[in-house]
Structure 1
């Protein structure tokens, strides 16, 4: 009520300068402990939040998303294998000092001279209500956005797979297309277009989404849309080899499995245009499609572009081995980690594992600094990677162990079930898997 009254008063102020100055406010979380501000609730930021010593730091989190998302299982929600709420954990459950220590807001800038983060409320329809949050220590973990490489039509006609909202939109489009395909009077050519799904990008996200789609078609579509099953096709477009970070033999295994499937196709080409009903490849081929999912890499967020810190050629913030940012002046209290950052002379992969472990390291090193202890540099040792490829088969790529097939699938499920963010999720996800196995996937459209 108070904010709405303030908004009505502000609307009567004629000067934009006066309007902004009256709405600007400074937020100081408390006194006594150091004020630690975290921008972002992804793997890196959430890892710091969970592991930092809250006896030493008064923690404030700024993010337009009020939950942590377990991204490795996001593809499973697009076809109803898992429910959306089974892979998200509300950030406020992490135990803040009080309710004012989480801001559902977008960070718009950093003033390193005054030690403040500039923010805008994410729920403000006009997106002009600004305020500042003070900090002693700042952690930038805002993540990244999908990289379209300037391809025309991607933002207008393709779907990304980065957030729960993306997964829900994809799920609704899939179910919508199936329902339209059974409408009386629709042509066979239109049925084939509606049920042709194009995945652009052969990384883990694209391959796992394709795997979930294949299982959905084999196990549920055959039961619910029997006559339409023959028209379903999934095309994965990748200019290079799929799963580039995996071992060559595992890449070959996954490629062979995809090529063996009658309703899946792997095309080694590049998409140069996306239209409402098709995609165009670099050789001029026009591929009709009812759904295009774009998963080809990462690009920096607007906030990352705006801050005046050193960046690499990919637009990521460059940090030293202790994850400290480099700016125009020496900056000893601003850190960066996750997809928005990279370590100078020791490049890190843009994976959940790297961000989560960097977050744990940073939580410990911050405490060590306060207590006057030695801070060791961050060293990332890749523990390995997992990827699901469909038909209850997966890939396990570890330095000491490599496997493919059903045994790797068991390891894939066990690993993810134990790495979920809370015991609530560790209970919900296996229950969802069991329900889908016994009763089939939920195909409700909402």
Structure 2
């Protein structure tokens, strides 16, 4: 034996691990632990690894991921396909779990670099008490009925969206849409917290009092969400993308995937909010949008060219009763009658965030090199092209602000340039 250690999780990565005293990175690891269920029932155990593994419960082999391996897609295709086995367990009884793990060098289903350069491999195992969807739904509904207010957490996980593969659907996995609808019927005072890395379909949004888009925020995500819900912190986030109502509204919907191995970027320059403005498709939420527990007012926009820069100043007032932060977003509208190419209706060129106490006003300055504010890439000239003409300037709190402040500037002479 080379080493004795204690691990706190049934999922661990050993990519950079090398046993003390070992002469080569070929080793075997035996793990033992106790599991005491709180509820009697059928428990499903799921396991996957880069290496080999045998899982025993009270000395009986439950999962054989050594002699019956199938190639899976975790770890960029260098892992075994997850195996799921079910075992009956009694509440209060302690079961001995034993795992016999062979490092990544023992994995023979692929010659992927991970098996040679990171021979430690990895192991992951979890469990779930088997319960029917109907039972879980009934429990959620009854819990919602008995509560004054409900915080309902929904979303996806790295099993549904991560690197190396595309999502199969924009819809929430499983029966989550039905769950939300039933809980909203049971208790109208329901706050939805969605944790996903990308937009999901929200058909229930019109009957939802409040929605928190929490994304994937790591180990402190729970504390951050609680701070927002209880008002300890005033939310000030803004969407870094446009949130569509349905998958068919996405700019790349018609050209998604490849055509005989060729990827077609059919959106051209009309990506994100630029597509929605061009097609006049109303998204669920626009780019740059985000609510606050207070309110803000923009005023006194001033736009001018100073030396090589476009300089815009705007006053922002916190008109509410609590401290908060707001983001001023500057969009430039290209000349509509003289431009030589088709361009978006407007383009984001700068932004600035400001913290304001109740009733406080501050002047915010957004400064952008005029060449960046005005230019597009001229393919024929192989240079950036700042066209001559009159440009519009819009400043607001999102790409679809209801109260844009408007300004303008003029470039008297066209300019071709290189570099960034």
Q: Give the structure with the larger strand fraction.
A: 2
Structure with more relative contact order (C-alpha pairs < 8 Å, separation 6 or more): 1
TM-score by length of 1: 0.23
TM-score by length of 2: 0.24
- Structure of larger gyration radius: 2
Q: Give the structure with the larger helix fraction.
A: 1
